[in-house]
Structure 1
């Protein structure tokens, strides 16, 4: 019509008609605004505990006015409950606005809550608790208003009820039961009583699902009590059946806090099943019945006296080992002093003979203070009191010449000029080491032919390398865990760290001080072991300086570098385990296990070194292999869960490494991996298996290696079939199984060779076995697990069992540190019976 008019009447008429249309549009807009201004507003004086049934449209708005008396000595909650009875209300929801003195609460009904992937869940029944602002007077009357409005022109029927919550305040050690749902969250107030500075809030339920959230918030408005905002403030953690948060008075200026419980719209955060996807992005999903019955109880936490008792208990346990070591050293010194007096002054020897004996050039009086606990007393006494007593001047001269022939160099020669090469710096350089090492029956003298200063330098590298590794490893770890703890304290997200929340005692900024303190044993006992090794090292060095024949030619060669490395590794394990327990989770679990691999590897190397000092692995090779193990540990934690490709690759590499190591051990290091390896393998199979069907030349070694391959292949098959989630623990189990297998083989072969185990070593073995048994019992209690969701992990939480301060895992720390210390002592003392036996009479196995 407008176009026709434009063509018929010309430009003036067109302008006139356009102006007319604009005026008409303005009039319509004015009429609509006037209609809006004439919207009916009805205010009603309302009462508590009365249900109001009403209808709201876009033409009317209802305001309910309430008043109630608030007392400073008594806190009452006010609960708003709303039901929408009309169908199709999702398209035009009702808006409820509650205006209070210091807060405004608004929500729509049906309440739309969003879940994972923005899925929408409508709730037509909504219940909210009003925030209670504090009052400064003894009693005052407060007013609040509930505004009800909508844009629906058809009208929506609803029910409104305001009621008092008489049990709004929680009391100490009194359980309170309630029901919550996603649209009906609950929160309660707790006030610290006098004398209570720390409290633990526990929420429990018989129902695993629906998933819930427990939050601790300061007394302020608004209170964040919906699934989509409960994480905005305060401390919170997800839960299935149980949740616990330790609260300190210093964090709440008002000496009180709210305990908020919210039921989530979905269960994925608690490890529940993933629900179906909506067909359309705007589709509303029926959430079903997600009500959950819960219990809440607030109990006083431990006092500062318990902290002091816990620290004294921890220190007392490990200081007792220092005291016990000192007592054993005193007893050994006294016993050896009496024995020396008996040898130097026998009853049937005349004073003149005794004087002449002491006058011999080879006999030097030895102070009893040079002997100590776990010292090689038998060898020292035998060399000083017996050998020197019966040796003539000619024999003494022979001993001096023998020393020169063994060392092959002057003592004044600098150690820096001594290098180890492919020729092994053997004293008898004209002999071929291949001939020596391939004999059917080997003695320690055959594999202890290198210059002792070369070997000492070689094995000291173990200690310096692990000390360097420890420093560079620990510094970024400490920095990282401090960041973790800071994030937990700032965000309040208790799900970041997998604590045993029922026995997590904070101190300062640390959330679980008891789990950190219990690692003190690793450090203290590692230091004690280093002191014991240092004493032995000093005694052995003095014996060498005196040209002691037993120290030169008897017993297992004394090399202490690996022992120093083991003690250092134990101390680092304590430090890194403490760092891990600052905030335990799956991303930093390797902090707790890395030096466990180190300890297991060093113990195996030390066992092998006892009988094979010349051919033991160098520090660089050993630590490179351990680095590869830690590398696979990290890969397994990140990619190993359910990844069959990773498990196939790892199992193949595990089996290949086992076979290569077996070949290296069987041929005593005379096997090389080069281009001719396949030809040599075929030749050995042809000559030994096909042509003459001869048995293995080294029976004992073959038995050990066959058993080792069976064990490792079985472990590889288990990992491939079961694909355990905890790859780090699986890898540690492989290392421990191999260590135990080799240790059992060593003990059996030692007894089979006619050797004996002295009393001190036997006591250490029995004591260590018992302690390991109890330690593993507490380890497998499983108080938390980062393999599951935080809510599922909390189901395993338990109360403290010792002094109300330490839990089962702390007891594991105590016992495992003692057991590791005992294991080290076993390795240190198990061959003391050979200290007076010539090395050419000690068998290699």
Structure 2
């Protein structure tokens, strides 16, 4: 486990034993009235406030720019689809409710839940956040939280665009922001106690774009063997570099990462040599489970000669790893005497219940863009809610609630530390 230093020399934390939070900043008082220790302490407060990881602030701005540019060709493509009579849109024709020239307006408007959830979360963060003082609580840069809210909001926007004319051609519109949001959840939770180690916005979005690219080629007519070779290499690289980074708390090249992992795995034979057993076995469990899922999906895809289930695979792995990390995070909080408020547990219950219903609704087949148009028609089902919404609309509503409760858990989970001196907060 990382140890936080309280010394002025290292600059990671200030000496809280000698810090008087009622003292004004050095600029506003007479230097002659301060002791040497007080001067050092005040100087350290100012230094910490000025040296917060600025690169985190760019996350939401870059996501906003990406979304604007992504939306323009997306809108153009969807307009082309609905105006081109030769393109078949995979609607649920037994529950088709047209409005404003949009054939399946009910499937489009049901995405309003994501927009409301994302906007509500952004407002909650904005109105409940506290000003950073460099002394109390965890690092409180809000960019990643705003980024989570934007990701949910744009999921609603682009899912709505997809449902204007759902087909294999524009399927990535419906999944891009799910991939981004899933990755951002992990980044946001990790940066709470590792703000200076979390990857910057450019690296993070480059990482997300890699998996979006893999999803695009999985929807093409690429050879199934070629696709799984490419994905296995990429996933192996991410597993090695990511695991070594989380274990060593520092960035390393591939060779160094692989060597460090081999050295770490050898310690299983001598458990007493493992410094942080909780972290080590959590990462090991996540890796083993992820690779089991990858192998199972790969075997299934090769046997059936399909690669179009990639989005379900990568989303499942990302969410599963995040939940493992969240469980580890909560366990460590209790281990070190921190609290998890009742409101957070209520949000967790709401999250699991809503996602349980959401997955159930999602698994009810109404269309299948990977079948022929006639085969997809056989899956169509009547409306089930107010004679207006079908099962997929119910998925939209319940998953929006699940996403809202999930990001709220990440935001409020350390609410108990707002007044805790930063030098007393454990890093894990």
TM-score band, normalised by shorter chain: 0.7 to 0.9
1:658-691 CA-to-partner distances (Å, cap 9, x unmatched) read 12210111110153446x777x65995899799x
1:477 corresponds to 2:74: yes
**If the length of structure 1 is used for normalisation, what is the TM-score?**
0.44
**Partner SS, residue 77 of structure 2:** helix
1:279-325 CA-to-partner distances (Å, cap 9, x unmatched) read xxxxxxxxxxxxxxxxxxxxxxxxxxxxxxxxxxxxxxxxxxxxxxx
Answer whether contact 1:499 1:584 (CA < 8 A) is retained: yes
Specify which structure has the higher proportion of strand.
1
Find the counterpart in structure 2 of residue 792 from structure 1. Answer: 375
Find the counterpart in structure 1 of residue 295 from structure 2. Answer: 717
1:618 corresponds to 2:215: no
Find the counterpart in structure 2 of residue 444 from structure 1. Answer: none
1:457 corresponds to 2:54: yes
Structure 1 residues 496 and 689: CA distance shift in structure 2, 3 A = closer
CA distance in 2, matches of 1:761, 1:677: 36
Total equivalences in the alignment: 396
1:748-782 CA-to-partner distances (Å, cap 9, x unmatched) read 22222222211222222222221111111111112
1:735 corresponds to 2:374: no
CA distance in 2, matches of 1:683, 1:726: 32
CA distance in 2, matches of 1:516, 1:683: 49
CA distance in 2, matches of 1:553, 1:387: 8
Structure 1 residues 405 and 388: CA distance shift in structure 2, 3 A = closer
Find the counterpart in structure 2 of residue 403 from structure 1. Answer: 42
User: 1:703 deviation in Å?
Assistant: 0.9
CA distance in 1, matches of 2:194, 2:369: 42
1:695 corresponds to 2:273: yes
What does 1:764-843 align with in structure 2 at a 5 Å threshold? 764-843=347-426
**Partner SS, residue 426 of structure 2:** coil
What does 1:117-132 align with in structure 2 at a 5 Å threshold? none
Q: 1:559 aligns with which of 96, 117, 141?
A: 141
User: 1:601 deviation in Å?
Assistant: 0.6
Structure 1 residues 767 and 686: CA distance shift in structure 2, 3 A = closer
CA distance in 1, matches of 2:50, 2:124: 22
Answer whether contact 1:527 1:567 (CA < 8 A) is retained: yes
User: 1:508 deviation in Å?
Assistant: 3.0
Structure 1 residues 754 and 689: CA distance shift in structure 2, 3 A = closer
Structure 1 residues 840 and 644: CA distance shift in structure 2, 3 A = same
Q: What value does the CA root-mean-square deviation take over the aligned residues?
A: 2.9
1:137-179 CA-to-partner distances (Å, cap 9, x unmatched) read xxxxxxxxxxxxxxxxxxxxxxxxxxxxxxxxxxxxxxxxxxx
CA distance in 2, matches of 1:682, 1:646: 26
What does 1:338-417 align with in structure 2 at a 5 Å threshold? 402-408=41-47
CA distance in 1, matches of 2:273, 2:139: 32
Find the counterpart in structure 2 of residue 486 from structure 1. Answer: 83
1:572 corresponds to 2:154: yes
1:762 corresponds to 2:345: yes
1:501-535 CA-to-partner distances (Å, cap 9, x unmatched) read 10011113211000010011111221111111112
Structure 1 residues 399 and 532: CA distance shift in structure 2, 3 A = farther
Structure 1 residues 787 and 606: CA distance shift in structure 2, 3 A = same
Answer whether contact 1:516 1:582 (CA < 8 A) is retained: yes
Answer whether contact 2:90 2:166 (CA < 8 A) is retained: yes
CA distance in 2, matches of 1:686, 1:647: 26
CA distance in 2, matches of 1:687, 1:807: 53
Moved over 4 A (4+): 386-389, 393-401, 680-690
CA distance in 1, matches of 2:357, 2:268: 48
CA distance in 2, matches of 1:800, 1:703: 47
1:614-658 CA-to-partner distances (Å, cap 9, x unmatched) read 111111110010010101111111145x61232133123312321
CA distance in 2, matches of 1:836, 1:502: 56
Unaligned runs of 5+ in 1: 1-385, 409-450, 545-550
Structure 1 residues 454 and 792: CA distance shift in structure 2, 3 A = farther
Larger Rg: 1
CA distance in 1, matches of 2:388, 2:66: 33
Find the counterpart in structure 2 of residue 607 from structure 1. Answer: 189
CA distance in 1, matches of 2:384, 2:173: 26
Structure 1 residues 558 and 509: CA distance shift in structure 2, 3 A = same
Specify which structure has the higher proportion of helix.
2
Answer whether contact 1:639 1:646 (CA < 8 A) is retained: no
What does 1:137-216 align with in structure 2 at a 5 Å threshold? none
**Partner SS, residue 828 of structure 1:** helix
Answer whether contact 2:53 2:195 (CA < 8 A) is retained: no
Structure 1 residues 693 and 595: CA distance shift in structure 2, 3 A = closer
CA distance in 2, matches of 1:682, 1:759: 38
Q: 1:503 aligns with which of 95, 106, 113?
A: 95
